[in-house]
Homo-oligomer: A and B are copies of this chain.
Amino acid sequence: MSNSFGAAFRVTTFGESHGGGLGVIVDGCPAGHPFPFARVAAQLTRRRPGQSKLTSPRQEADELRVLSGLEPGTDLTLGTPIAMVFANSDARSNHYDDLAELYRPSHADYTYDARYGVRAVAGGGRSSARETVARVAAGALAEDLLATLHGVEIVAWVAEVADVVAPLPDLATLDRAQVDTSPVRCPDPAAAQAMIAAIDDARREGDTVGGVIRCIARKVPAGWGAPVFDKLTAGLAQAMMSLPASRGFEIGDGFAATRLRGSQHNDPFAVHPDRAQIFTTTNHSGGIQGGISNGETLRFAVAFKPVATLFRPQHTVTRDLQPVIFQPRGRHDPCVLPRAVPMVEAMAALVLCDHMLLARLARVADLVPRPPTDDAT
């Protein structure tokens, strides 16, 4: 508990990294939407390991099977649960046999044992980043709804790797094609080169690096979110901090905001002269005020720690409390950041899609029955 996320657009994921497979059930997807196979496939491809020397050589086809929730023939969503399942095709679990008895440092081996008294040893089990396949698939469906209904555009990118900090791109025009011009998914060519060098350096030394992903969501209307525990900020924070290896979350100016005076940080309101609409002349708030979107571009950042699996000997202990030296083998990413880009986008989409639906219930005036829609009986 709990492997579910969301109130109105609710996903439930399952699966270990090695075993029969993993997947996700989406409950609450509105009916009549063409299932976005292409968008899901595109995001799964971006998440997949083995795309470049920067990431794990593990090859997973990640072949999506949608077991339910679509009308055969039209692939329209039925309003019933959409089950998406992925087989675990390339598992070499013998790589992990010697891990059964020791606790890898800064992995979840020990904490899972402490909690459950039993754990899936191969590949990290439920704690494997492979679990995010399910999130990325569900998130792509969510963002398709967001794009269709409101034109929402979600774009994440690698903003920092180790001590390489990329300059801020043009947030009004940044798109995924620009992000994907580099295998490290940083849209700034010079920074991307430096990041690749930093990753290569670490790999050569059997070490790993971390970094920061930034993400924006454009065209989120004003009024999504909630006042207290379900602030949009709180939901995004939970979503991002539920990703493997995430260590920090910031909205808008984030920690840097603590160094500003209120007079510097406040975002003055103004009115678009041509279209009678309120906007803010700055966006230190990152598009959210009081937990509710204000119509400006959402902007947040997520910190990812360096990957815990090193190809260097490390001190640790066994389940029997014996000290040992651990020397990992297997297939691992020296840097999780490039592959985490679609994960961040997916989790942002899940949060926003949920709030898009909930926002439809906020006002009595919006609940006055409408004439039946065309596809109604």
Contacts and interface: CB of A to CB of B under 8 A. Distances in A.
A363 B32 contact: yes
A107 interface: yes
B268 A306 contact: no
18 contacts: A13-B229, A16-B78, A74-B118, A80-B120, A80-B126, A105-B267, A105-B269, A108-B290, A110-B278, A111-B288, A111-B289, A112-B227, A115-B225, A234-B239, A241-B251, A247-B253, A262-B307, A262-B310
A4 B1 contact: no
* Copies per assembly: 4
A79 B115 contact: yes
A39 B22 CA distance: 24
Contacts of A21: 67-68, 83
Given A110-B294, A117-B31, A251 B248 contact: yes
Contacts of A33: 364
Contacts of A249: 237, 241, 248-250
B2 A292 contact: no
Interface in A174-224: 202, 205, 207-212, 221-224
A259 B117 contact: no
Contacts of A171: none
Interface string A118-130: 1110100111000
Contact of A364 (B31, B207, B289): B31
Contacts of A28: 1-2, 361
Interface stretch (A42-50, A53-61, A312-320): A312-320
Interface size of A as a range:
35 or more
A212 B248 contact: no
Given A122-B72, A317-B271, A246 B233 contact: yes
B115 A223 contact: yes
A48 to B, nearest CB: 20
A268 B363 contact: no
A255 B255 contact: yes
A25 to B, nearest CB: 5
A305 B263 CA distance: 11
Nearest to A281: B315
A219 to B, nearest CB: 11
Given A72-B93, A106-B289, 5 more contacts: A3-B227, A19-B72, A71-B118, A231-B241, A249-B249
